[in-house]
């Protein structure tokens, strides 16, 4: 187990060092001096920066930066800030630099290392394996799921296959291929697929087009590919539901297996009843967790719709809000149905009394 944990930790650490490749003409630079002034009532900033990489490493460039209020191009620049710049070369031989973005890579790496250290410190081997599982999940999404969608494959089908693979790898990696992990896998797959089927039905009933978000509009404007945007939305529902459904399934499975180990005489009905009782307590908090996660991500949308002062029926009929409602409620139903799925499967697959007694004698 120790060697496997170290191997996956090394894999994850190597992933942290991988950054998205910048465009060829984007260069990292560090701000040395800042001078703010106003020209014709327009606030502007003179920036002196030193290039940190590439052919012009060490060269000092002067940049005129015009912040645009209430936009993503309104950076708070201070001395020492790392920025991404673009160099424009003139026929006369001169060079002009423009600020394209803030370089956030270093700060995000630090945050990632804090996260990694926290998980390892409090989770030990299990924490290391959970982080490795998270890294593999990211690889599946970025290297398999997204390229297949861009190649024209059905987003829904790709999401279903990817989801099953993620569930299998996560549980096997963290718990090994045991009877307990198999029960959790089956319960999770059942709940997640239920959420997907329900989302598909109500996406069709509500005539969701998949073009309601600004991100989709960006895809349409800037990508020369044909994508099933309704399927893309549905794939997001599946991916969004995995986390909480896995948590619920494993919690109930562990409880039922432990209950059987402590009381070998308890039967199938008692195990299922106990699973349902514990599941109700878990459901009360997990449903809130799932819905609030979606609401938190949609807060700007909710504020916009609130200020539009639309009547309730018009409000919920807007596609941008309807998609969030479908996403959160279908995910919640999948979570809820995971409880009976897992309880029944665990009740049937938990080791019987004779097996537990033999195992107990062997340990002694």
Is residue 350 situated within a structural domain? yes
The structural domain count of the chain equals 2
* In-domain check, residue 293: yes
What is the number of residues in the chain? 364
On whether both 201 and 77 belong to a single domain, the answer is: no
For 179-206, write each residue's pLDDT tens digit.
889 999 999 999 998 998 999 999 989 8
Q: Is the pTM of this model over 0.85?
A: no
| Residue at a domain's end among 67, 89, 105 | 105
Coil/strand/helix, residue 198? helix
The tokens for 86 are 């673009």
Tokens describing residue 313: 């029926």
User: Which residue range forms the structural domain that includes residue 53?
Assistant: 26-105
81-127 residue pLDDT tens: 898 888 887 766 667 888 888 888 888 999 989 988 998 888 888 88
CATH number at residue 79: 2.40.50
Q: Per the domain annotation, does 34 fall within a domain?
A: yes
Query: Does residue 21 lie in a domain region?
Result: no
Mean per-residue pLDDT, 296-309: 74
Type and span of the H or E element at 328: helix 319-349
Is 193 found in the same domain as 90?
no
Element (H, E) at 10: helix 2-16
* Straight-line distance from the first to the last Cα atom of the chain, in angstroms, rounded to the nearest whole number: 23
Q: How far apart are CA 156 and CA 75, in angstroms?
A: 38
**Main-chain dihedrals φ then ψ at residue 99, nearest 5 degrees:** -80, 120
Q: Write out pLDDT tens, residues 273-302.
A: 999 998 888 887 777 777 777 777 777 777
Please check whether residue 185 lies inside any domain of the structure: yes
| Pair of tokens at residue 270 | 């008692």
Q: Are residues 156 and 99 in the same domain?
A: no
Whether residue 39 lies inside any domain: the answer is: yes
The answer to whether residue 135 sits within a structural domain is no
| Half-sphere exposure at residue 357, Cβ-oriented, CA atoms within 13 angstroms | 5
In this predicted structure, the answer to whether residue 236 has a pLDDT above a threshold of 50 is yes
The answer to whether residue 208 is domain-embedded is yes
């Amino acid at each position: 187990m120790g060697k496997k944990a170290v191997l996956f930790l090394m894999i994850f650490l190597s992933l942290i060092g991988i950054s998205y490749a910048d465009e060829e003409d984007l260069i990292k630079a560090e701000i040395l001096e800042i001078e703010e002034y106003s020209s014709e009532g327009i606030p502007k900033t003179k920036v002196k920066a030193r290039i940190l990489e590439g052919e012009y490493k060490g060269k000092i460039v002067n940049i005129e930066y015009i912040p645009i209020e209430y936009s993503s191009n309104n950076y708070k620049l201070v001395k020492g800030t790392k920025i991404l710049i673009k160099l424009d070369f003139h026929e006369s031989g001169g060079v002009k630099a423009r600020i394209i973005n803030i370089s956030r890579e270093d700060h995000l790496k630090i945050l990632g290392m804090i996260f990694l250290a926290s998980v390892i410190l409090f989770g030990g081997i299990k924490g290391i394996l959970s982080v490795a599982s998270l890294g593999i999940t990211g690889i599946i999404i970025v290297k398999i799921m997204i390229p297949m969608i861009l190649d024209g494959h059905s987003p829904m089908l790709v999401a279903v296959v990817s989801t099953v693979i993620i569930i299998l790898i996560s549980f096997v990696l963290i718990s090994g291929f045991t009877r307990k992990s198999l029960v959790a896998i089956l319960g999770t797959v059942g709940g997640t697929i239920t959420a997907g089927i329900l989302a598909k039905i109500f996406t069709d009933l509500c005539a969701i087009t998949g073009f309601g978000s600004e991100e989709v509009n960006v895809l349409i404007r800037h990508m020369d590919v044909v994508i099933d945007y309704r399927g893309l939305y549905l794939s997001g529902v599946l991916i969004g539901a995995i986390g909480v459904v896995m948590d619920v399934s494993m919690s109930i499975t562990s409880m039922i297996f432990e209950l059987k180990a402590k009381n070998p005489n308890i039967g199938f009905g008692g195990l299922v009843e106990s699973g349902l009782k514990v599941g109700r307590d878990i459901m009360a908090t997990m449903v809130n967790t799932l819905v609030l996660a979606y609401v938190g991500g949609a807060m700007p949308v909710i504020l916009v719709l609130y200020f539009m002062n639309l009547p309730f029926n018009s409000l919920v009929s807007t596609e941008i809000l309807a998609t969030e409602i479908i996403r959160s409620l279908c995910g919640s139903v999948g979570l809820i149905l995971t409880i009976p799925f897992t309880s029944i499967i665990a009740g049937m697959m938990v080791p019987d009394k004779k097996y537990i007694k033999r195992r107990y004698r062997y340990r002694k």
